[in-house]
Structure 1
Amino acid sequence: MLGHHRTAQPPATWTDPALSRFDPLSRIICLDDFDRGFCGWTQLVGNYEDSLDSMLPGYAQHTSPMLSSLAHWDAGSHNSVDGNYALKIATRPRRGAQNVAIKRLTFREAGPIRMEAYVTFKPEATELKLSESDIRSFGFLFDLQVGDRHGAGGERVMPHMRFLNARDGEHVQRWQFKRRSVPIIPLGTENKTISHYHLAPEDWEDLPGGDQRLCYNEIPTKVNWHYIRFDFDLASMTCTGFRCNDREFDVSGFDSLRLPAMKNLWCMLNLAFFAETDTDKRAFLYLDSVCLSGDF
């Protein structure tokens, strides 16, 4: 008599089409596919007190992200990877302008996390030429803070990564990070609100070995989607890995912007994406989907 043979269950990523394009850790924190709407992503509004005019100029330029079918003038809509809509982050049409979309969470365990996303970038197609150097940069950042039990000596930690596509009209195509602290500016009169603009163009450093040529199709309305993966350990507050498409990068020289812990941001787990234009036309960063997972 033949014994019973129990077939092992396949991983969830084999059977769930929404997960099959990702390599998540053991627990899914959020899986955002923008065919379902905004999924909690919103405009990065700067801090203010008493008056909106107290907001720092870097934040005042930001606008809300949009749901987009990637419409363009020559063929209708490009659409997303497997549906209709992506999240569109669009700058103002002014050289050096930036825009940021953010998702605000907190964490329940200080352990490993992994962010994965499918993204693409283009300038607004206002000219009949490729315009491959019109986007200055796109990237992502986390805004993290330890739990309240750390007390004195805890940190607010902000890993930043950007792809510097072009500068002053010249292609660069290099991944960079930022670790130098920026000035903290108090707002108002009640000693409750401060602000700092951490996406200023100064103090970006080249990621060692971070040169990469990304796919950028032959006319100004075509796009190709790119895979990004970033690993971070919330216990040690260190980056443990970074990948874009087929390239795994050495992150031994990577560090984050670090500030003293702030009195009302305990267990913060914020994730943001940003775009920046190098010309007087809008730069677009599109997010098809974002998966944030953890191992706890």
Structure 2
Amino acid sequence: MSTPRTAQRPDLQLSRFDPLPRIMFYDDFSQGMSGWTELLGNYTGSLRTMHPGYRQFTPPMLSNLTQWDGGTHGALTGSYALKLATRPGRGAQTVSLKRMTFPKACTMQLECFFTFKPEAIELELSDRDVRSFGVVLDIQNDKHRVLPQVRYLNALNGEAQNKWQYKPRSVDFENVGDRTVTIYHYGEENWIDIPGGHQLLCYNEIPTKVNWHYFRLGFDVRTLRYTELQCNDTVLDLSDLDTLKFDAMPNLRNLFNVIPFVDSDSDKRAFLYFDSILLSGDW
């Protein structure tokens, strides 16, 4: 007896991904914000004690990618995408994050479909106006807190770069009072090229057009090591790379935050959009 054809149909949303056995979350932003929020830097007593780097961050928003020449673009598979937008200015940066904890130490894998553009305020290609975009994972086990972070460096000071990088070290922590410390690890310092990480991404000829890309990043919480990075058809082995590591901090046991970011290399705002994001684990 043959299997009914309806039983063979894949899940049209999840079949675009390659998740590990346990799906932690799947966010389709046509359904709403799904807990993604603005990152506020640590402060005590007053917001004025916050590190200046964090003060520039703006909250994420839902966007239907409306363009002045072509109307509403929409997301890859629905009407809305999650949008991160910097303030205008070279080096301006913003991040978003989803705050959670891990239920079991295992390999975790982040997947998403994304696109990036500068604000289309002039009739120019503008392919070097976005400096970079990337993701930070903020994880803590019993002994250590780690901040694995990778980025795609698109351009720097107006020169095309087109390569993946990681950051194995950062600046020192600063005290903001009441046993609270802060560290601004999103700066331009200490980025290192990932071996074999040069990659040209599709960037359309008109500044209002977008093309969506697939991204995947793995990290093993048991060993506190990267596994792989994939963007479209480029796959990079990251297992030999170091990551930012500190002694465990009070009250952060089982921390697992996902933090995408984008920054500008011109006076225009830089935009990073996500159609959907999926996190899975192998437990």
Q: Tell me which residue corresponds to 1:73.
A: 68
Distance in 2 between residues matched to 1:124 and 1:6, nearest whole Å? 50
Aligned residues: 282
Q: Does 1:267 align with 2:254?
A: yes
CA contact (8 A) 1:34 1:288 kept: yes
Please tell me whether the aligned partners of residues 227 and 237 of structure 2 are also in contact (alpha carbons under 8 angstroms). no
Give the CA deviation at 1:6.
Answer: 8.2
Name the SS of the counterpart of 2:16 in structure 1: coil
Aligned-CA RMSD value: 1.6
- Pairwise CA distance, 1:72: 1.1
Higher Cα Rg: structure 1 or 2? 1
- Does residue 30 (structure 1) correspond to residue 25 (structure 2)? The answer is yes
Any gaps of 5 or more consecutive residues in structure 1?
none
Match in the other structure for 1:169: 158
Q: Deviation digits for residues 232-261 of structure 1, max 9, x if unmatched?
A: 111111111110000111314422111111
Residue equivalent to 2:12: 17
Contact 1:207 1:253 in 2 (8 A): no
CA–CA separation in structure 2 for the residues paired with 1:10 and 1:230: 31
Query: Do residues 103 (structure 1) and 102 (structure 2) align?
Result: no
Distance 2:18 2:213 in 1: 15
Q: Which amino acid aligns with 1:100?
A: V
1:33 Cα deviation (Å)?
0.6
Partner in structure 2 of residue 115 of structure 1 = 110
Q: Is this contact kept in 2: 1:228–1:244, CA < 8 A?
A: yes
> Is structure 2 residue 205 aligned with structure 1 residue 218?
yes
Relative to structure 1, the CA distance from residue 10 to residue 107 in structure 2 (aligned partners, 3 Å threshold; closer, same or farther) is farther
The answer as to whether partners of 1:181 and 1:259 remain within 8 angstroms in 2 is no
SS at match of 1:25: coil
What's the secondary structure of 2:14's corresponding residue? coil
Distance in 2, Cα, partners of 1:166 & 1:223: 18
* Aligned-pair CA distance for 1:112: 1.0
Deviation string, structure 1 residues 210-247 (Cα, Å, up to 9, x no partner)? 00000000110000000000111111111111100001
Quick check: 1:209–1:250 contact (8 Å CA) kept in 2? no
**Residue 254 (structure 1) aligned with residue 244 (structure 2):** no
SS in structure 1 at match of 2:33: coil
Alignment correspondent of 1:195: 182
Q: Unpaired segments of 5 or more residues in structure 2?
A: none
Structure-2 separation of matches of 1:10 and 1:178: 45
Is residue 2:281 matched to residue 1:290?
Answer: no
**Displacement after TM superposition at 1:15 (Å):** 2.4
| Partner residue in 2 for 1:233 | 220
The separation in 2 between residues aligned to 1:19 and 1:253, in whole angstroms, is 30
Would you say 1:94 and 2:83 are equivalent positions? no
* 1: CA distance, partners of 2:72 / 2:270: 17
Counterpart residue type for residue 92 of structure 1: R
Aligned residue number for residue 53 of structure 2 = 58
Could you tell me which of 281, 285, 289 is aligned with 2:268? 281
